[in-house]
Amino acid sequence: MEVLVPFSTDRPKSRLSSVLDPAERAAFARAMLADVLDAVNAAGGEPRVLATGPVEPETECPVEVDDRPLTRAVNAALSDRRTTADQPVGIVMADLAIATPSALRELFDAVERAADVSIAPGRGGGTNALAVDHPEFHVDYHGASYRDHRRIADEVDATVSAIDSHRLATDVDEPADLAEVLIHGEGRSAAWLREAGFALDASGGRASVVRK
Amino acid sequence: MEVLVPFSTDRPKSRLSSVLDPAERAAFARAMLADVLDAVNAAGGEPRVLATGPVEPETECPVEVDDRPLTRAVNAALSDRRTTADQPVGIVMADLAIATPSALRELFDAVERAADVSIAPGRGGGTNALAVDHPEFHVDYHGASYRDHRRIADEVDATVSAIDSHRLATDVDEPADLAEVLIHGEGRSAAWLREAGFALDASGGRASVVRK
């Protein structure tokens, strides 16, 4: 399955600005992108980066540049694919630093076997990963998009499979999310954080991070 | 499988004190407990509440009172079971308000089929649900217990299966967690929150809650 991985080259990960400076945020975003591309490849997907500007991923991967906002760029890409092939398409966010091949395989398998659309909700109601095999489904990433995507699927009579995965629910946006990368990550993102001096602080209720 | 559900009757859910008063926290904790007991039953488990004081769950269920701290009470219960039966035991936290029967079934199946211990990590590195079929494994819920439980399993040569579930990773401790209940919950906890005036606020990056 072709899997689009949207990636913003323009001030990525601004909500991490309290713990990482702009150059660090860019480097960490690239490490997460590489982890996601590796996981998609290992899950049997064929990743393609859908970037807002030129980028050379650390993992070799074709890149398509589209500087439009996320929703419009993804809908244009979905529309393109429909005119050229009747194949399912995946859309996996570039900051799923602890995504595993098995969780992604479950997402892909769901549309290859049963549902028209499979959705992995993110924490806080976003849509972290999608697989789509329906001619009319479109995306709308604004706000709590998980519910909107379920509604859109209903409106076009597309069956939906929700993928229950902590790995896929964890998009790395805020400092607290870095703890998940240190706890579960085994790839470049976790290595990057450790190299940058981050460590787990398990003194409170939920683990957070400290930086040396 | 017998499934212990530890429940604190003494000032439950104090980290929700900014949005719920003590009586509300107690009522909401009971609603979550009932949802968890329902999910365990639906998953084929036999729940038993392990409470720090007397409680009458809204869903009929045997209650065992043990006022010792969580780790000691659970280890004593595990030890009791070992002397009377060589059966796996589950331990599922009482605040997993969006736990589904299918996610719990995966947890139980993992020890019935393959592993000595199955663990569902919580957000922030806690241990939200466990199933244990090993004579020497014991718990230690202090701090980031997911890693500690993996280490304890290693030390006693117990094989481990990690359960990747957003539903089981979501323990409801902090106000932001209430959004997950409103997004995904279909039981008493979600109904209780709606009745109490909580609604989803999807205006920011991740959805949060507002109260009318």
pLDDT tens per residue across span B63-101: 999 999 999 999 999 999 888 878 899 999 999 999 999
Percent of chain B whose predicted confidence (pLDDT) is above 70: 100
- Partner residue opposite A183 with nearest CB, options B100, B146, B164: B146
Percent of chain A whose predicted confidence (pLDDT) is above 70: 100
ipTM for the predicted complex = 0.96
Structure letter (DSSP) for residue B122: P
Cβ atoms of B72 and B29 within 8 Å: the answer is: no
Contacts of A164 in chain B (CB under 8 A): 100, 102-103, 165-167
Chain B interface residues (partner A, CB cutoff 8 A): 15, 100, 102-103, 121-126, 143-144, 146-147, 164-169, 173-174, 176, 179-180, 183-184, 200, 202-203, 205-208
User: Exposed (0-12), middle (13-18) or buried (19+): which is B9, by Cβ within 10 Å?
Assistant: middle
Is there a domain that residue A200 lies in?
Answer: no
Strands (DSSP E) found in A13-94: 46-51, 63-65, 89-92
pTM, entire model: 0.96
Best residue in B13, B127, B206 for a mutation probing chain A (most A CBs within 10 Å)? B206
Neighbours of A22 (CB within 10 A): 12
**B45: CATH:** 3.90.550.10
Is there a domain that residue B33 lies in?
Answer: yes
When pLDDT is averaged across residues B17-46 and rounded to a whole number, the result is 97
Cβ atoms of B2 and B48 within 8 Å: the answer is: yes
Statement: residue A100 has pLDDT above 80: yes
Percent of chain B whose predicted confidence (pLDDT) is above 90: 90
pLDDT tens per residue across span B92-151: 999 999 999 999 999 999 999 989 999 999 999 999 999 999 999 999 998 889 999 999
Is there a domain that residue B104 lies in?
Answer: yes
Is there a domain that residue B189 lies in?
Answer: no
Domain span including residue A124: 2-169
Is there a domain that residue B114 lies in?
Answer: yes
Angle, in degrees to the nearest 10, between helices A175-184 and A188-195? 110
| CB within 8 Å: A125 and B200 | yes
The total number of structural domains in chain A stands at 1
pLDDT tens per residue across span B146-174: 999 999 999 999 999 999 999 999 999 99
A46: Cα separation from own chain's centroid: 14
Phi, psi for B103 (deg, rounded to 5): -65, -40
Is there a domain that residue A192 lies in?
Answer: no
pLDDT tens per residue across span A18-58: 999 999 999 999 999 999 999 999 999 999 999 999 999 99
Instruction: Give the span between the Cα atoms of A123 and B196, in whole angstroms.
Output: 23
Tell which residue, A117, A45, A124, has the closest CA to residue A78. Answer: A117
* More confident call, B53 vs A204: B53
When pLDDT is averaged across residues B41-47 and rounded to a whole number, the result is 98
Is there a domain that residue B29 lies in?
Answer: yes
Tell which residue, B96, B99, B74, has the closest CA to residue B29. Answer: B96
Is there a domain that residue A210 lies in?
Answer: no
